[in-house]
Chains A and B, each alone.
Chain A
Amino acid sequence: MHPHRRKRLFNIILVLLFSTSGIGLILYSLNKNLDYFFTPTELKTINIPEDKRIKIGGMVLENSVVREQSKVIFTVTDYKNYIEVVYEGIVPDLFKEGSGVVALGFMQNETFYAQEVLAKHDENYMPPNLNINNDN
């Protein structure tokens, strides 16, 4: 092979190698760091490892909020299934019983330990696609 062409081929291979490995690394870390979003019903059917950070969403069940020292314990429901959530810290302004909430954290023995609790910024609205219907 002509040395010039060989050099070019070498360059092409180098570029392809670098770009694919770079993109591969980025995709790998993306996959590792995704937060999956579940509703209480989905949580009952899927087993989630304790060290996997997930998001759960639903409504805060009426009369379920208990405050213990600086902890807040409440139940999130999609009106079919229920899940207990423990959170240490101040819940956001828009957090209310009977309104929508999204929590980020870990599942441990049927209890969800939240690191972050978010109420939707737009106070009238629920996370979309969380079709909460009471058609038992």
Chain B
Amino acid sequence: MTAVDALGGEHSTAAATTLELVYFSSRSGNTHRFVERLDRPAHRIPIEQDEELASQGGPFVLICPTYADGEGKGAVPKQVIRFLNVSANREALVGVIATGNRNFGATFALAGRIVADKCKVPLLYSLELAGTDTDIARTREGLAKLERELCSTAI
């Protein structure tokens, strides 16, 4: 994977890889609230089916909620599937973080496992609803580490 400076050299550290976030959140807003607390550049995939998020230039991590029924169908939101159907987006996808609710049993955070398998990227983390302080800390730390790794392999 080629890491590109996603900020287009606007920052003085032009060589650094900025790992951006792309996420989907329905109007219930749990994933949105989680992403807000991560304090990172983030792009929201539009809820409206006739709107699209422009392809991402640089490497990004997808944060995706799960909407599976009892049998696991429909776990990945349609808007996210459409976004991943664009091959440029899949190429820039570094990993996936899944949100969900353990009360849904075996389908908890299933969307993350499906996207990871489909796109051959690692599942980075799973969390419930809008996340706890522990989830925020682990995710921030994990993203920073991943960013360093990408940076060292980018040359």
Query: A and B from one assembly?
Result: no
Residues on B close to A: CB < 8 A? none
Residues on A close to B: CB < 8 A? none
